[in-house]
Amino acid sequence: MSKKVDLTTAVKIMNAAMKKAQEIGVPENIAVVDEGNNLVAFFRMDGAWLGSISIALNKAYTSRAFDMSTKELGAMSQPGKPLFGIQASNDGRLIIFGGGMPLKDGETVVGAIGVSGGTVDQDEEVAAAGIEVF
Amino acid sequence: MSKKVDLTTAVKIMNAAMKKAQEIGVPENIAVVDEGNNLVAFFRMDGAWLGSISIALNKAYTSRAFDMSTKELGAMSQPGKPLFGIQASNDGRLIIFGGGMPLKDGETVVGAIGVSGGTVDQDEEVAAAGIEVF
Amino acid sequence: MSKKVDLTTAVKIMNAAMKKAQEIGVPENIAVVDEGNNLVAFFRMDGAWLGSISIALNKAYTSRAFDMSTKELGAMSQPGKPLFGIQASNDGRLIIFGGGMPLKDGETVVGAIGVSGGTVDQDEEVAAAGIEVF
Amino acid sequence: MSKKVDLTTAVKIMNAAMKKAQEIGVPENIAVVDEGNNLVAFFRMDGAWLGSISIALNKAYTSRAFDMSTKELGAMSQPGKPLFGIQASNDGRLIIFGGGMPLKDGETVVGAIGVSGGTVDQDEEVAAAGIEVF
């Protein structure tokens, strides 16, 4: 049976991510999108950066948009790299640093999670904890 | 002690709203904002209209922006009424039909809920169920 | 000597407007622009509607943009009237209901005040109190 | 008692900042936002750059959005640094050079000031003078 990012699944992913965020002591914004790259659920943990609301939403969006982590896209988007300038596309919604990761059913991307509120490493650790329960 | 729309509270409100939505059989998008009009949490129930994602978010925004329900604001914004044209303000984020309602601590508005996915009457019934548990 | 909307003058206008707002018991957002239609000063009174921040700014902008009150512009912009649709211009910054009024040096418009937070009548009363001290 | 950025407080902060700006002879744009990252007050000193109106507003916004100075955010956002590309987020409102600083109640950020009109060093000196009286 194929895996699907419905609301119950999204909340399960977000709760696992939040648990990790609490463990490492960083309040995070967490967003999950589905196969159609449409928002399913969002949580702002108490005290999380306000400026990271849109970044979490857009990390999830970016990751599903290109079926890779935002860190991988970021590596290709540095000055001198093949995708430098990609950020100007997609109505300014692309985030090119870590914290967005695809949700996969086997090899197929069926959604994504976006986390923002800590360092990029922390955001990735929290996103990975969410993916683990998918 | 003053009431505050933290994440735990927002999820409690959204769960009560979702329960009502399930009772009346309408999949809804539900958003909650806090006192500063910043997003705290969002749920899209399975099968809810995709175009209602931004409407739910913006109903919550609109209701906190003017400390009244979106239905009340809508009544003042019809052609010939005092606020006709208001929806062009606030970067196009204002929704002027029902489904957004303020969350109050006594007389003070400390947040809002926005619901979109059904008829306006259904959206208001679902939003009211969320407010009831605040 | 010609009159000019410098910062000292803008603050004087805004203080007079605030005094009126306090008298009638309505927290208002108040903005003043100069001859070049650039923002000089802005105050949000405690408890004023958050959604009225941009409306106050844009009422001042609109009034200087067309050298008339936003109420007058609004009358011309209703369905069936000559300027219906004008709101889609000026990057969505035009407000077509009362509360924005020009600041004049004789017949010449040299700035404007915008007030938002109460009823349209209250906003106009507060704006007029500001203009009186210019 | 917790500190709050109400209008009286914001004007006090801005007056202290203006005094410093006058001392060093640079006309500045100065903005203050509150805990919810909503604008409380703005002053453009006579002769201050028009292009710095939105920069001052957005420096205050940026600083509250990430609870740090815009200088600190800027250091993390250079090419090759972890947050390179962040300024495309938040609808283009982020400023990644100095002049925005958080207003703190102990360790909690409850608002921010943004200053633009001089060199980055001057803007920071003026912002710091505002923060000192909070």
Per-residue pLDDT tens digits for A71-127: 999 999 999 999 999 988 999 899 999 999 999 999 999 999 999 999 999 999 999
Chain D partners of A97 at a C-beta cutoff of 8 Å? 82-86
Q: How far is CA D72 from CA D58, D76, D117, in A?
A: 15, 7, 19
Q: D1 pLDDT exceeds 80?
A: no
On whether the CB atoms of residues C55 and B66 are closer than 8 A, the answer is no
Q: What is the pLDDT of residue B134?
A: 96
Chain C partners of D36 at a C-beta cutoff of 8 Å? 50
On whether the CB atoms of residues C75 and C86 are closer than 8 A, the answer is no
Selection from C68, C7, C54 nearest residue C34 by Cα: C7
Return d(Cα C5, Cα C11) in angstroms, integer.
10
Selection from D96, D134, D132, D120 nearest residue D20 by Cα: D132
Q: D133 pLDDT exceeds 90?
A: yes
On whether the CB atoms of residues C72 and C53 are closer than 8 A, the answer is no
Selection from C40, C44, C42, C56 nearest residue C5 by Cα: C40
Q: CA of C24, closest CA in chain D: separation in Å? A: 18
Q: B2 pLDDT exceeds 90?
A: no
Q: How far is CA D101 from CA B46, D3, D46, D95, D115, in A?
A: 42, 16, 23, 12, 9
At B86, the pLDDT band (50, 70, 90 cuts) reads very high
- Touching chains, D (3+ CB pairs < 8 A): A, B, C
D109 is written with which tokens?
A: 């950020």
Return d(Cα C134, Cα C9) in angstroms, integer.
7
The reply to whether residue A53 touches residue B38, judged by beta carbons under 8 angstroms, is: yes
Chain C partners of B70 at a C-beta cutoff of 8 Å? none
Chain A partners of D82 at a C-beta cutoff of 8 Å? 97-98, 119-120
Chain D partners of A51 at a C-beta cutoff of 8 Å? 62, 64-66, 89-90, 94
Is residue A89 classed exposed, middle or buried when 0-12, 13-18 and 19+ CB atoms within 10 A define those classes? Answer: exposed
User: Are there at least 3 beta-carbon pairs closer than 8 Å between C and A?
Assistant: no
Mean pLDDT of the residues in chain B:
96
Interface test with chain B among A40, A57, A93, by most B beta carbons within 10 Å: A40
Q: Mean of the pLDDT values across residues A4-19?
A: 98
Q: What is the pLDDT of residue C103?
A: 98
What interface predicted TM-score (ipTM) does this complex get? 0.96
In chain A, which residue's Cα lies nearest the Cα of B27?
A7
Return d(Cα A93, Cα A38) in angstroms, integer.
13
Decide: helix, strand or coil at residue D126.
helix
Q: What is the pLDDT of residue A22?
A: 98
The reply to whether residue C38 touches residue D53, judged by beta carbons under 8 angstroms, is: yes
Q: What is the pLDDT of residue D80?
A: 87
Find the helix or strand (DSSP H, E) in which B22 lies. helix B7-24
In chain B, which residue's Cα lies nearest the Cα of A49?
B38
In chain B, which residue's Cα lies nearest the Cα of C84?
B85
**Of the partner residues D38, D44, D53, the one whose CB lies closest to the CB of residue C7:** D44
Q: What is the pLDDT of residue A1?
A: 72
On whether the CB atoms of residues D60 and D100 are closer than 8 A, the answer is yes
The reply to whether residue A43 touches residue B6, judged by beta carbons under 8 angstroms, is: no
Q: What is the pLDDT of residue B80?
A: 87
DSSP-H helix ranges across chain A: 7-24, 52-66, 70-76, 120-132
Q: What is the pLDDT of residue D6?
A: 98
Residues from C contacting B (CB-CB < 8 Å) are: 49-52, 54-55, 58, 74, 77-79, 87-88, 92, 94-98, 119-120
Instruction: List beta partners, residue D29.
Output: D44, D116
Selection from A102, A103, A99 nearest residue A124 by Cα: A99
Q: What is the pLDDT of residue A59?
A: 98
Q: CA of B41, closest CA in chain A: separation in Å? A: 5
Find the helix or strand (DSSP H, E) in which A109 lies. strand A108-116
On whether the CB atoms of residues A110 and A1 are closer than 8 A, the answer is no
The reply to whether residue B89 touches residue C51, judged by beta carbons under 8 angstroms, is: yes
Q: How far is CA B3 from CA A23, B8, B63, B110, in A?
A: 27, 12, 18, 8
In sign, the C-alpha dihedral spanning A51, A57, A60, A61 is negative
Q: Mean of the pLDDT values across residues B41-48?
A: 98
Return d(Cα C120, Cα D2) in angstroms, integer.
35
Residues from A contacting B (CB-CB < 8 Å) are: 6-7, 11, 36, 38-46, 50, 53
Q: What is the pLDDT of residue B53?
A: 98
Return d(Cα A98, Cα A71) in angstroms, integer.
4
Decide: helix, strand or coil at residue B108.
strand
Chain B partners of A41 at a C-beta cutoff of 8 Å? 41-44
Q: Mean of the pLDDT values across residues B22-30?
A: 98
Return d(Cα C29, Cα D41) in angstroms, integer.
9
On whether the CB atoms of residues A85 and A113 are closer than 8 A, the answer is no
DSSP states of chain C = ------HHHHHHHHHHHHHHHHHHT---EEEEE-TTS-EEEEEE-TT--TTHHHHHHHHHHHHHHHTS-HHHHHHHTSTTSTTTTGGGSGGGT---SSSEEEEEETTEEEEEEEEESS-HHHHHHHHHHHHHT-
Chain B partners of D34 at a C-beta cutoff of 8 Å? 36
Q: CB-based contacts of B47: which residues, under 8 Å, 6+ apart?
A: B27
Q: B1 pLDDT exceeds 80?
A: no
Per-residue pLDDT of chain C (134 residues; tens, 9 = 90+): 789 999 999 999 999 999 999 999 999 999 999 999 999 999 999 999 999 999 999 999 999 999 999 999 999 999 999 999 998 899 989 999 999 999 999 999 999 999 999 999 999 999 999 999 99
Interface test with chain D among A29, A61, A96, A121, by most D beta carbons within 10 Å: A96
Paired sense of beta strands D39-44 and C100-105, if any: unpaired
Q: What is the pLDDT of residue C88?
A: 87
On whether the CB atoms of residues D95 and D71 are closer than 8 A, the answer is no
Decide: helix, strand or coil at residue A42.
strand
Q: A129 pLDDT exceeds 90?
A: yes
- How many beta carbons lie within 10 A of that of residue A46, not counting itself? 12
Q: How far is CA B129 from CA B20, B40, B95, B121, in A?
A: 6, 18, 20, 12
Q: What is the pLDDT of residue A94?
A: 95
Decide: helix, strand or coil at residue D66.
helix
The reply to whether residue B83 touches residue C96, judged by beta carbons under 8 angstroms, is: no
**Of the partner residues B66, B80, B88, the one whose CB lies closest to the CB of residue C49:** B66
Q: CA of B38, closest CA in chain D: separation in Å? A: 7
Selection from B70, B112, B118 nearest residue B94 by Cα: B70
- How many beta carbons lie within 10 A of that of residue A38, not counting itself? 16
Return d(Cα D103, Cα D117) in angstroms, integer.
20
Return d(Cα C82, Cα C107) in angstroms, integer.
24
